[in-house]
Amino acid sequence: MLNNLTNFFNLIRGRKIKAIPSDSDLIPLGTRDLRYDGSYQPTAIQFKDLASAIGEPSVVFTEGIVDPQVQATMNPIVGTITNAAGVVFDRYRVQGIATLAGSVTYAYLIGVVVGSEDMIRVKEDTTILATDTIVYDTVASAMNFSVLVKNVVGSLVSTQSTFIADDNTISASEDHWFTLVMTAAAPFEAEVIIDFTIAVPQGTVIEFFN
């Protein structure tokens, strides 16, 4: 049977190709053993054990080189999303803090996610809050809020718009530039908590630069 695994024509003709492995499916391995020709003996591992050993997708993280006003990280989340076409997506959570002070409009880069042209934002997992203020109106989606912030004399004022933009036209289609944009009628200050989730096709290796 192990020899047959190298004969893909027979496997294809016999319709033995699987799109999604079962937990109990076996994957052939070569285990180091000097008593065997070539110093390896044939062994196997269950798919569920291999997946457990690999763990969650890795994220390469480079901090603090893009926009000092925003400190953010990205980490993988357990669990997946399957779209209507049957494509499975891995989830990643982006969290950070932005310090705003002294301006009417802010456009601060949260970070750049590199490595996947196909990317979605998971709305139900997304929030954007200003510390000690109130989110009182959902404008267009979970990525876009109006919030109350403090003006220069300490009074609460409403932002005219607050949203997180995703632009993949700046450098390359697989480079997603996530930017926090906030605007009010007068200069204001706030400590903004950023917390949103993105999803990319399962198995894609992505990088996050902040």
Domain extents for the chain?
3-54, 59-209
Over 90: is that where the pLDDT of 48 sits?
no
Over 70: is that where the pLDDT of 57 sits?
no
With bands split at pLDDT 50, 70 and 90, how would you rate the model's confidence at 92?
A: very high
**Size of the chain in residues:** 210
Residue-level pLDDT at 69: 77
For range 5-18, the mean pLDDT: 64
If we measure between CA atoms, which residue out of 32, 18, 26 comes closest to residue 44? 26
**CA-CA-CA-CA torsion sign (96, 133, 125, 187):** negative
Over 70: is that where the pLDDT of 43 sits?
yes
Over 50: is that where the pLDDT of 37 sits?
yes
Highest mean pLDDT among 12-26, 64-78, 149-163, 193-207: 193-207
Q: What is d(CA 88, CA 10) in angstroms, rounded to the nearest whole number?
A: 28
CB atoms within 10 A of CB 147: 21
Contact 35, 42 (CB under 8 A): no
Over 50: is that where the pLDDT of 39 sits?
yes
Residue-level pLDDT at 145: 56
With bands split at pLDDT 50, 70 and 90, how would you rate the model's confidence at 6?
A: low
For range 23-46, the mean pLDDT: 80
Residue-level pLDDT at 194: 83
Residue-level pLDDT at 18: 66
SS3 136: strand
Question: Which pLDDT tens digit goes with each residue over 103-161?
Answer: 898 888 888 999 998 888 776 544 444 433 333 333 223 344 567 788 888 888 888 87
Q: What are phi and psi of 204, to 5 degrees?
A: -75, 130
Question: Which pLDDT tens digit goes with each residue over 187-206?
Answer: 988 888 888 888 899 989 99
Q: Which residues contact residue 55 at a Cβ distance below 8 angstroms, ignoring those fewer than 6 apart?
A: none
